[in-house]
Amino acid sequence: MFSFNNITTAIDEFLNSVLPAQGALIVECVLVALCAVLAYVTLAIVMIFMERKVCAAFQCRLGPMRVGYWGLLQVFADVFKMLIKEIISINRSDRVLYNLAPYLVVMSSVLTFSCLPFASGLQVLDFNIGVFFIMAASSFGVLGILLAGWSSNNKYSMIGAVRSGAQMISYELSIGLCILVVVILSGTMQISELVDMQRSGWFIFRGHIPAFIAFIIYLIAGNAETNRAPFDLPEAESELTAGFHTEYSGMHFGFFYVAEFMNLFIVAGIASTLFLGGWAPLYITGLDAFNNIMDYIPGIVWFLGKTFFVIWLLMWVRWTFPRMRIDHVVSLEWKYLIPIGLVNLLIMTLCVVMGWTF
Amino acid sequence: MEFSTNLLIFSGLALLMMAAAFAAVTTSRIMRAVTYLLFVLFGTAGLYFMLHYTFLGAVQIIVYAGGIVVLFIFAALLIGKGTIDVTHTSNRRYLAGLLASLSGMALALYLINSTDFFADKFSTVGVPMKSVGLALMGTAKHNYVLTFEVLSILLLACMVGAIMIARKK
């Protein structure tokens, strides 16, 4: 099967032949960072456009249609508008923390993003503790939100930030439990190994009932982690204007906005990696001709296809359900999702010990 | 070649940590102090990743950056603005702080000088996750099941205490 390792090794050999080893290393670091950030931004633009079109479809509208064919250039216009806007500073705010907060959020998001396996060999970070590192990297994004709310010197920002903090920290537990279910099933935490193992069958099929429950809980908790409706209390516009990023303008607001969209992509990407096989194609045992055809579809198409399918599911939820109340959000997590998640973990352990998995 | 790249990364991390640590103790605003502390913790995690202790590095980030610092910030938020910022410190406290940090530095220097470092035993591939897990739950020599259990009892006690404080009569 085609692997991007061939390309990266070729580039590595070429750079090492023209540069000293240290220089090659530095050039590679810069190249990888550049590619990762470019992919990050491109996907963010795609997602913002998709969100507007999906939202429009659910509300029986057309969405942006004027700028470019079918409104395709609308997001680019928005980005340019955002880039030329002034970055204002707030009276009596903590200037240092106010300017630092968006970067913390984006840093956490980019670190998590670079763990996603786009195709065979197309992955920036691949530790032996992969999924654990994903959890660690995504855990400090909430700091940026808390600091943004605190340093804005605005009570709405502050309330939004505290709500967001409470919500994100609570739902991280459910995400952890769902990831543990997959780790128990597979016996590994390395992302490339996780995907390799799913080439003989996606975990959602191999782990049947517990894996499916974990997948559903993961989607709910992931939706809450990204602060999107029905869990968009941190920025409930009718109550808090815009929540923690009320006081931000220009590209600083843009960072929050992009990070929020990319966190949705990351949540969907992790869901498709852990449960839907990542870049591994769909195989049906016994249908060899079908499996051969599936092999011809490149891994990156599989990964992006599955990820955008999950994103579409989450957007469907976002534009269908009304916003929840804060006490409902918290009790949903602590009284329902965590107990279900814990029992589910036990069921999965039992299944693996008894060999009831495929 | 590999050595000098490592040295470069190490000096970068060390400078970041020292600058952030110094800023954390000299700033008078509690929220900024917490944020600078965050960068010290990131630097420590970076050192662990440099040594290929990926598990320890991730634990450092998830526990300290994602847990402890968030707790600090929540505490500062709940107490309120302006009430906890350091406004005045007496000279005696400055002196005591200086003395404490100097003695800490002396201890660290003594330990660094009196320890033999095993550069040849240094692993460049990292510890496999399985051996970390087995050591954590094992009962043999140099395994940590007792520590693990004692810590879980401590955490349980903390949680029961928190519920007792927070519950309505």
pLDDT digits (tens, 9 = 90+) for A266-287: 999 999 998 888 888 887 777 7
Q: From residue B154, give the alpha-carbon distance in Å to each of B138, B150, B151.
A: 20, 6, 5
What pLDDT score does A340 carry? Answer: 94
Which among B31, B61, B66 has CB closest to A94?
B31
| Integer Cα distance of A305 and A326 in angstroms | 34
How many CB atoms within 10 Å of residue A18?
A: 9
CB B36 within 8 A of CB A53: no
Which among A139, A165, A188 has CB closest to B61?
A139
To the nearest whole number, what is the mean pLDDT of chain B? 83
What pLDDT score does B1 carry? Answer: 44
**In chain B, which residues have their Cβ closer than 8 Å to the Cβ of A146?**
70, 73-74, 77
Distance from CA of A58 to the nearest CA of B (A): 36
Q: Do B81 and B132 sit in the same domain of this protein?
A: no
Q: Do B108 and B162 sit in the same domain of this protein?
A: no
CATH number of the domain bearing residue B66: 1.20.120.1200
Q: Do B76 and B141 sit in the same domain of this protein?
A: no
Choose the final residue of a domain: B106, B122, B138: B122
* Element holding B75 (H helix, E strand): helix B69-79
pLDDT tens digits, A289-321:
877 887 788 888 888 999 999 999 998 988 888
CB A270 within 8 A of CB A117: no
Q: Do B135 and B96 sit in the same domain of this protein?
A: no
Query: Which carries the bigger pLDDT value, residue A230 or residue A343?
Result: A343
Q: What angle do CA B100, B106, B108 make, to 5 degrees?
A: 105
CB A263 within 8 A of CB A284: no
What pLDDT score does A195 carry? Answer: 86
- Tell me, yes or no, if A147 comes closer than 8 A to chain B by beta carbon: yes
How many CB atoms within 10 Å of residue A86?
A: 7
Three-class DSSP category at A322: coil
What pLDDT score does B122 carry? Answer: 62
**In chain B, which residues have their Cβ closer than 8 Å to the Cβ of A94?**
29, 31-32
Give mean pLDDT, residues A162-184.
88
Q: Do B115 and B44 sit in the same domain of this protein?
A: yes
Two structure tokens written together for B10: 């190490």
Q: Residue A150 pLDDT more than 70?
A: yes
Q: pLDDT exceeding 90 applies to what percent of chain A?
A: 15
Domain residues for the domain of B90 are: 2-122
Q: Do B111 and B155 sit in the same domain of this protein?
A: no
- Which of the four pLDDT bands, split at 50, 70 and 90, describes residue B134? confident
Two structure tokens written together for A128: 């032996």
What pLDDT score does A234 carry? Answer: 67
What pLDDT score does B16 carry? Answer: 92
Spell B67-85 as b/e; 16+ CB within 10 A means b: eebbebbeebbeeeeeeee
| Integer Cα distance of A334 and A340 in angstroms | 10
pLDDT tens digits, B104-129:
999 999 998 888 776 666 666 777 77
User: For A2, how many CA atoms within 13 A lie in the half-sphere containing its CB?
Assistant: 12
Residue recorded with tokens 């995907």: A195
Q: From residue A80, give the alpha-carbon distance in Å to each of A39, A77, A110.
A: 18, 5, 22
Distance from CA of A62 to the nearest CA of B (A): 41
Q: Do B92 and B139 sit in the same domain of this protein?
A: no
CB B28 within 8 A of CB A102: no
Chain A and chain B share a number of CB contacts under 8 A equal to: 84
Two structure tokens written together for A218: 């993961």
What pLDDT score does A218 carry? Answer: 92
pTM of the predicted model as reported, rounded to 2 decimal places: 0.87
- Which of the four pLDDT bands, split at 50, 70 and 90, describes residue B82? low
pLDDT tens digits, A79-95:
888 888 887 777 777 77
Q: Do B12 and B67 sit in the same domain of this protein?
A: yes
| Integer Cα distance of A163 and A167 in angstroms | 6
Two structure tokens written together for A291: 């499996």
- Which of the four pLDDT bands, split at 50, 70 and 90, describes residue B100? very high
Give mean pLDDT, residues B21-34.
85
What pLDDT score does A298 carry? Answer: 82
Q: Do B21 and B97 sit in the same domain of this protein?
A: yes
Two structure tokens written together for A111: 């670190």
Q: From residue B150, give the alpha-carbon distance in Å to each of A18, A37, B55, B68.
A: 56, 44, 21, 20
Asked whether this complex has an ipTM greater than 0.85, the answer is no
Query: Which carries the bigger pLDDT value, residue A75 or residue B19?
Result: B19
Spell A106-122 as b/e; 16+ CB within 10 A means b: bbbbbbbbbbbbbbbbb
Burial class (CB in 10 A: 0-12, 13-18, 19+), B63: middle
Q: Do B142 and B115 sit in the same domain of this protein?
A: no
What is the number of structural domains in chain B? 2
Distance from CA of A183 to the nearest CA of B (A): 12
Q: Residue B169 pLDDT more than 60?
A: yes
Q: Do B18 and B51 sit in the same domain of this protein?
A: yes
What pLDDT score does B89 carry? Answer: 67
What pLDDT score does B136 carry? Answer: 83
| Integer Cα distance of B147 and A131 in angstroms | 25
Task: Tell me the helix, strand and coil percentages in chain A, rounded to 5.
Answer: 75, 0, 25
Q: Do B27 and B93 sit in the same domain of this protein?
A: yes
